[in-house]
Amino acid sequence: MSLELLIMFAFGGAFLTYLAGKISSKLRDIFALLCSVALVVIVSSLYKVETTITLYNGFFGMPLSMRLNPMAWFFAIAIVSSSALVVLYSMSYMKHRERTDYYYFMLLLINAAMLAIVLSGDLVSFFISWEIMSWSTFLLISYNRNAALPAGIKYIVMSLIGSMCMLVGIISIYTAFDTITISEIVQHMATATAGYKLFLLIIFSITFGIKNAVVPLHTWLPDAYAESPSPFSAVLSGMLTRMGIFGFLLIMFVMVGAENSLHMGRGFFSYHNILAWLGAITIVIPTFIAMLQNDAKKLLAWHGIGQGGYMIVGIAFGTSLGLAGGIFHTLNHAIYIILLFLSVGAIEYSTNGLRDLNSLGGLFKKMPIAFLGGLLGICGLIGIPLTNGFVSKWLIYKTLILGKAPFLAFATLLGTWGTILSVYKFLHNLYLGQLPQEHQNIKKTPLAMQIPIVILSLTILVFGILPGLPLKSINAMIVSFGFTPLTVSIWGISSETGTLNMINIFSILLVVVAIFWLIFQAARKSTAVDQYDNYAAGAAIPKDKYNYTVEFYAPFYRMATPYLRDIFDMLYQKIARFTEFACDNIRKIYTGYVSDYIIYIILFLALLISAQLKWSVF
C-alpha cells in the first residue's frame, strides 16, 4: 500500500468509526479494532521499504510530501501496535462511559496524526499533523471534565508555546532556504552558519522538550496523565509524549546533522552536553518526587518524566551505543508504561475508580493478570535483567562509563535507585499485603482488558531475552544518521569492550531459580492461614489496618517534602496569575462609554504632541 493510502486509511478510519457509533456501539468497537489491527498489518508489510512521495504540489507553491525510512518505520510500528492494544482494552473499559463515540474518534485521530508526523517529508505536513495531535490530545485529556479541564488547559497552553516555537523555526527555514522539504533542507544546511544552526537547534528543542516533558518544560504532564481516561493515559505516556524524542532525532541527526549537533559550542557549554545534563536532571528530580505520590497514576506520571531523561541522555551523548540505548529505551518505556497504566486501569475498573495506594492492597488474589502486568512492568521500569528495560539502560550506562562521564552515570544510577524505592510502594500497596474487606467481591476484569496486559508482559520478556529483534531496526536507523553500525545479534550486542549476551544471563538465572526451587521443595511444607492471622513487628495486625506500609515513607516525606517541590510549576502558576491580573486591569479601560474613548484619544494625541515638542527642542 502507498503512503498516501495508508494515511487516508488512518484518518478515514477515525471518521468512519465515529459514524459507525451512531448506528451501533458494537459496530463502532469492532470497526475501531479492525482499523487499528489493519494499520499494524500494513505498517509491518512496509518493513525495510524506503520511499518518498509527493502528496500535493499546490500548497501556496510548496509541495507536501511523505517519506518512509528506518526511523519513520520504527516509530510508526510502535504507534500502531500500542494503539491497537489500547483500542482492544477500551472496548471493555469504556463500555458504560458516556460520549464513547467521541472518545474513539479522538483516540484514532491522535493515532492517525502521530502516524502522519513520523511519515511527513516536509515541515508543513509535520506542523499540521502536530497540531491535530495536540488539539485532539487536549480534548481527550479533558474528557472526564472537573479536574481534567485545568489539566487539559495546562497541556494546551504549553503545547501552543511549543507550536509557536516550531512555527518560527519553519518560517525561518523557508525564508533562508526557500523550501520546506526535509531532504532539501538537509542539503542547504551545509551552507548555513553555525549561529543559525544553533538557533534552529534551540527553537526546535523548546518544542520537542515540551512534548517530551524535559525539566523545566514538564509541568503539564503529571496532571494530564492522572486525569485522562486510563487507556488514553497509556497512549499519552507510551508514544504520544515520545513524539518529542522523534523530534529531537529529526532536528539533531537529520536536519542539522550529527556532525553539527555534536560540535556546537565548546566543553560543558556545547549544545549536546547541556541537553544531556537537562536529561540527567529530568531523571533524578521527578523520580524522587514520584516517591511522594499516593495516586498510582501520578506516581507513574512522574516516572514517565524521569524515564524520558534516560532517552535524552542517550541520544544527546551522540555515540552509536548511546543512540541505540536512547532509542531502544523509547520503545521499552512505551511497552512497560502502557502495561502499568493498563494494570492500574484494570484496578480502577474492578474497584469502581480506586487508585489511591493507601486504600488498596492484597489484590494479587483477585487480579492475578493485573498483578503479573504490574510486576513485569515495574521490573522493566527498574531495569531488572531479562526485561527490556535492563538492555536499554545497560547500553546507556555503558555509554556514559566509556565516555568518561561519571557524574551523568551517577545521575542515571541514582534515578534507578529512586525508581526501586518508589515502585516498591506501588507494587506492595496495590497487590500485596491484606485484602480489604470491601474488595472481597470486586468485579472481574474482562478478557478484552486482560489480553493487552498479557501481550505487553510477554513483550517485555521477549525484548529482554532477545533484544536483537528491535535492535536490528535501531541499528539501521543509526547507520542512516551517519554513525558506525553496531554488531548486533539476536541475543544482544557486541563491542570492543565486551559483549551483552542475554541468553547467557537467562541460562544463569534459570539455574539459580532451579536451585532455589529444589531447596524449597526439600523444606517443610508451608501451612495456609487466614490473611489476618499474621503479625508485623511482633504485634497482630487489626482488620482495619490491612496495609501496614501506609506510613512506610513518612520519615522520608518529612525530610524531602520541603525540597522535592515542583518549583517550575509554582513559577509558571505565578506567571499565569500575574498575567491574569494584568489583563483584568487592562480590560477595565474598555468601559463601553463613548465619552471615555474620546478622552483616551485626546490623551493619546496630547502625549504625541508633547513628545513632538520635546524632540523639537533637541
Does residue 58 register a pLDDT over 80? no
Those residues whose C-beta lies under 8 Å from the C-beta of residue 486, and which sit 6 or more positions away, are 320, 321, 324, 471, 475, 478, 493, 494, 495
Picking from 303, 310, 295, the residue whose alpha carbon sits closest to that of residue 355 is 295
Q: Give residue 541's pLDDT band: very low, low, confident or very high (50, 70, 90).
A: low
Main-chain phi, psi angles of 617, to 5 degrees: -65, -40
CB 307 within 8 A of CB 333: yes
Which 3 state secondary structure label does DSSP give 70? helix
Q: What pLDDT score was predicted for residue 443?
A: 82
Picking from 209, 380, 383, the residue whose alpha carbon sits closest to that of residue 279 is 209
Alpha carbons 504 and 42: distance in angstroms, whole number: 35
Alpha carbons 62 and 50: distance in angstroms, whole number: 22
Top pLDDT among 551 and 379 is at 379
Mean pLDDT for the stretch of residues 225-243: 89
Question: pLDDT tens digits, residue range 67-95?
Answer: 999 999 999 999 999 999 999 999 989 88
C-alpha distances (whole Å) from 112 to each of 49, 117, 378, 417, 575 are: 20, 9, 29, 37, 35
The β-bridge partners of 122 are 181
Mean pLDDT for the stretch of residues 512-530: 80
Does residue 18 register a pLDDT over 70? yes
Alpha carbons 363 and 296: distance in angstroms, whole number: 14
Identify each DSSP E strand in 340-468 by its residue range: none
Q: What's the full length of the chain, in residues?
A: 618
- What residue segments make up the domains of the chain, in order of their start? 274-493+543-552, 568-617
CB 281 within 8 A of CB 215: yes
Q: Which helix (H) or strand (E) holds 406?
A: helix 406-431
Q: What pLDDT score was predicted for residue 498?
A: 73
Question: pLDDT tens digits, residue range 465-504?
Answer: 999 899 999 999 999 998 989 888 888 887 767 778 788 8
CB 344 within 8 A of CB 230: yes
Alpha carbons 548 and 397: distance in angstroms, whole number: 36
Question: For the chain, how many helices (H) and strands (E)?
Answer: 24, 7
CB 310 within 8 A of CB 374: no
Q: Cell 545479534, residue?
A: 489
Q: What pLDDT score was predicted for residue 558?
A: 73
Q: Give residue 144's pLDDT band: very low, low, confident or very high (50, 70, 90).
A: confident
Q: What pLDDT score was predicted for residue 532?
A: 63
Q: Average the pLDDT over each of 294-303, 424-433, 439-448, 550-559 and give the range with the smallest value.
A: 550-559
CB 208 within 8 A of CB 251: yes
Q: What pLDDT score was predicted for residue 537?
A: 55
- Taking the CB of residue 238, how many other CB atoms lie within 10 A of it? 29
- What cell was used for 519? 531447596
- Residue 431, classified by CB atoms within 10 Å of its CB into exposed (0-12), middle (13-18) or buried (19+), is buried
Question: pLDDT tens digits, residue range 334-389?
Answer: 999 999 999 999 999 988 888 888 888 788 888 899 999 999 999 999 999 899 99
Alpha carbons 320 and 481: distance in angstroms, whole number: 10
Across the chain, what does the average pLDDT equal? 86
Name residue 325's amino acid.
Answer: G
Does residue 549 register a pLDDT over 60? no
Those residues whose C-beta lies under 8 Å from the C-beta of residue 143, and which sit 6 or more positions away, are 99, 102, 103, 106, 228, 229, 232
Does residue 405 register a pLDDT over 90? no
* Residue burial 213-225, b: 16+ Cβ < 10 Å; e: rest: bbbbbbbbbbbbb
Top pLDDT among 541 and 321 is at 321
Does residue 561 register a pLDDT over 90? no
Mean pLDDT for the stretch of residues 382-408: 90
Instruction: Give the rounded percent of residues in the chain with a pLDDT score beyond 70.
Output: 93
Does residue 282 register a pLDDT over 90? yes
Top pLDDT among 111 and 597 is at 111
- What cell was used for 114? 502521530
Q: Average the pLDDT over each of 36-50, 199-213, 511-525 and give the range with the smallest value.
A: 511-525
Does residue 114 register a pLDDT over 80? yes
Q: What pLDDT score was predicted for residue 341?
A: 94
Alpha carbons 530 and 139: distance in angstroms, whole number: 48
Q: Cell 486482560, residue?
A: 450
Q: What pLDDT score was predicted for residue 474?
A: 93
Measured N-to-C along each axis, helices 388-402 and 296-317 cross at an angle, to the nearest 10 degrees, of 40
Model's pTM, two decimal places? Answer: 0.88
